[in-house]
Amino acid sequence: MAKAQQRLSQVQSHLASSEADIPRGRESILRKSPDDIVVTCALRTPLTRGGKGGFKDTAAADLLAHTFKSLISRSKIDPNLVEDISVGNVLSPGAGATEYRAAALVAGFPETTAVKTLNRQCSSGLQACVDIVHAIRCGMIDIGVGAGVESMSTQYGPGAVSEFSELLDSHPEAKNCKVPMGVLSEQMASDRSITRERQDAFAARSFQRAEAAQKAGKFNEEIVPMKVKWVDPKTEEEKEILVDKDDGVRAGMTVEGLGKIKPAFKKDGSIHAGNASQVSDGAAAVLLMKRSTAERLGQSILGKFVCSSVVGVKPLLMGIGPWKAIPVALEKAGISKEEVDVWEINEAFASQCVWCVKELGLDEAKVNPNGGAIAFGHPLGCTGARQVSTLLNELGRTGQKVGVTSMCVGTGMGMAAVWVKE
């Protein structure tokens, strides 16, 4: 009889594997179910400045291997039970498929643990987590890891975008996919009257919040320090250093200070190095499984995944992605924006973030309460996975429950996800 009941539960779970079948409404998503997809560990490396910071001489695969090792150590999961790993990456050739499989082996996962990599631009880390969620929901696997990594120090530059064929260049909308994001963001800021003053005020607040959070140790729980070899650019001496905090956070940043920085993309423009996301290096990972599996294994539950959304927008309006994706995710969860306690929205550019927050009518006090990518960096493939640990830790510290992660996506997309803290 017990086996029959278990089989019936499995069948019901598979039939309800679509996000359309998720319980709706705040009370519903707060309720616990054996079939909830839960997070039992979420962590990241520090984020460091591209070409200058602590990880400038460290390969992306090494960052990922350290993150995987830390995930196994902190969660105490038997690595033999992890069936699949999905890694988001943007800049590595082939999204790093070969070296990231090798990184998993180095970290202690057995050859039986499969690894795949994917590239959905800036949402790659979130997409990696969502892919694992769906694999668990449909019964393909029981336990998996969603992760993201980027070494912008070693792989960022003109070579990151391939040349378009004559066919692609002949299509006006397709051709817009290769317009540099800084250029199109500058145009969007101009078209939608997002002044430099508003952008700099948003950026200054991001730096100030991140500085306060770092001083208060709010990132310590999510960060796993890492010893690396680092070459001193002045003496060319190689030394071993311990990287234990985000090194892009600038103390004492003000609107006045930001106002002195020259525009980056247009002589009389409004976007500059101080109000756009930093070029950075880093890795993050999230351990996912059903609640019933976590309870059986004695895994601590940090929170649960509720639902996600992905949308397309015009390539030249890439920055509005969160504005379109967030309402879709909220609709799937059956909640209103007022029922969300914390928003983690990637700060690709202050211009697009300012516009999205205003148009969505969000409470600015709830948006990136500990700063964002302008202050501590945006390692492209890593950010979507990094946001999960940042969000769940903030919800836990403040005794709140419901959070949303979101980002704009290069070539004109947006993605969002709803999470609940245990």
Catalytically active residues are: 122, 378, 408
CB–CB of 235/56 below 8 Å? no
Alpha-carbon Rg of the chain, whole angstroms?
A: 21
Closest CA to 249 of 376, 136, 364: 376
CB–CB of 390/303 below 8 Å? no
Q: Which residue has the tokens 């109000």?
A: 275
411 burial type by CB count under 10 A (0-12 exposed, 13-18 middle, 19+ buried): middle
CA 315/CA 325 separation, integer angstroms = 15
Cα–Cα distances in angstroms (integers) from residue 337 to residues 165, 329, 331, in the given order: 43, 10, 10
Residue 218 phi/psi, 5° resolution? Answer: -70, -20
Pairing mode, strands 143-151 and 280-290: antiparallel
Q: Which amino acid is at 386?
A: R
CB–CB of 209/367 below 8 Å? no
Residues 6+ apart with CB under 8 A from 283: 44, 45, 60, 63, 64, 66, 67, 147, 148, 149, 150, 379, 382
Q: For residue 131, what are the β-bridge partners?
A: none
DSSP H helices, 246-290, are 255-258
Expressed in angstroms, the distance from the first to the final Cα of the chain is: 32
Cα–Cα distances in angstroms (integers) from residue 135 to residues 176, 332, 400, in the given order: 34, 19, 28
